[in-house]
Amino acid sequence: MISQAGSEPARALAERLEFFGFQTEQAAWNTLFSPEDEAPLAAVFIPDVEGRAYPPDAIKAIVKLRSVFPGTYIYCLGVPLNLQSIILLQRAGADTCLAAGRSSCDLISHVLDLIGRNEQDAYRVLIVEDSATATAHVRRALEQHTIDSHAINDPRQLLEAAAQYRPDVILMDMYMPFCTGVEATSALRQVPEYRALPVIYLSSETDIAQQVEALRLGGDQFLTKPANPIILASVVKTKIERYREMLYTSQHDSLTGLLNHLASKTQVERMALDAAGSELLAVAMLDIDRFKSINDTYGHPVGDQVIRSLGWLLRGRLRSSDLIGRYGGEEFIVALPGVTAEQAFRVLDQVRDDFSRLPHAHAAGVLTATFSCGVAVWGAHDTGASLIAAADDALLEAKRSGRNRVMVSGQVARELLSAPADAVA
């Protein structure tokens, strides 16, 4: 939803957002919204003139919108880079202020990240505690803050429970019948995927030296029993947020926000294992055509924007259950569970056509770009690595056959798409 109806920047931004799959509605500052209206995911305020302080009627509009739709994320564009303007907008209810001169690409990136945050799973806490009373106290405190939990009373079940429940943090009792919490944590750290998983010790231990030693041996925090419910929930949330941010940074590409090379390969391997039951999985490799020429002609910032636009388009066109990753440079990987070769071809060919019509702005005007794509499906290939290799071979065949097309592995002798003309890039 874009405010300040009728302005050219609002129209252009709405058009670009809609191209990436968003529904938009334009409204004036003085539009009266009702709590009965469907709450938008985000509201974008665009001033008449960039770099000037927002007028009083705009501030009032933000206040009203915030009161009617408390869950809507509010963006303010063209904000002057001074503290007073930003604070006044934040007081009115703005969540993010984008300074004058920031492009619509920055906003689209923000909105896509917002969708990702909204789709995050509930926080998960694994409780390792042999006392039923203490467990009930902790679970009650977490439940009051909408934090999911799972409890085990035997530390010998720790690795199995962690693998099945996939916790964001572990609350570990210090003293249990079979072993201490420190010993259990030390064993947990032997498994590579749990080396960074936060562990918070819960104990009546008051000896500071013992607490410090426990932290040195693998823990992240120490809370004395009985822990204050508010403090407990706050510590848990903080640890989880930092842990998830660390995981996100290590697994995602900084330019596009998509999974990076290693995370993509790992996830495709898992999806291949899951496909053993359904036998329906398609993996595709995409590569932007003549990308070096784009960089050489228009510069790397324009090249980066072309890469980001393809990443955004894939996120807007594919399902939340599909894998999308930046495999490296101008190459992307996509995995589509539960689809046939024909279904994968139709979806990816539509994305190909949409991308070929997407304008990319540069100093002298706009350019268009295309991509080539190779697809492989589960059956002839039964591992993640073999699927990726076969899709890559099909991609090379698509390049050799003229670019700007989708080729399916095993069917390279007959294209599923009549050869389109090469787009200018």
Does pLDDT of 50 surpass 90? no
Q: What is the pLDDT of residues 11-21, one digit of tens each?
A: 888 888 888 77
Long-range Cβ contact pairs of 110-113 (< 8 A, separation 24 or more)? 110/75, 111/17, 111/22, 111/41, 111/42, 111/75, 112/20, 112/257, 112/312, 112/315, 113/257
Between the two ends of the chain, the Cα-to-Cα distance in Å is 33
222 pLDDT exceeds 70? Answer: yes
CB 166 within 8 Å of CB 126: no
In contact, 44 and 75? CB cutoff 8 Å = yes
Q: What's the pLDDT score for residue 414?
A: 42
**pLDDT surpasses 90 at 211:** no
Sign (positive or negative) of CA dihedral 147, 151, 155, 160: negative
For 67-108, what is each residue's pLDDT tens digit?
A: 999 989 999 999 998 999 999 999 999 999 988 877 667 787
Copy the structure tokens of residue 122. 């509930």
Residue 256, CB-side half-sphere exposure with 13 Å CA sphere? 30
In this prediction, residue 99 carries a pLDDT of 87
Res 424: pLDDT = 32
Gap between the Cα atoms of 32 and 68, Å rounded: 10
Side-chain-side CA neighbours of residue 99 (13 Å): 5
- Longest Cα–Cα distance of the chain, Å, equals 75
pLDDT in tens, 318-361: 998 999 999 999 999 999 999 999 999 999 999 999 999 998 88
Percent of the chain at pLDDT exceeding 90: 54
Over the stretch 360-387, which tens digit does the pLDDT of each residue have? 888 888 899 999 999 999 887 889 999 9
Q: Is the pLDDT of residue 1 over 60?
A: no
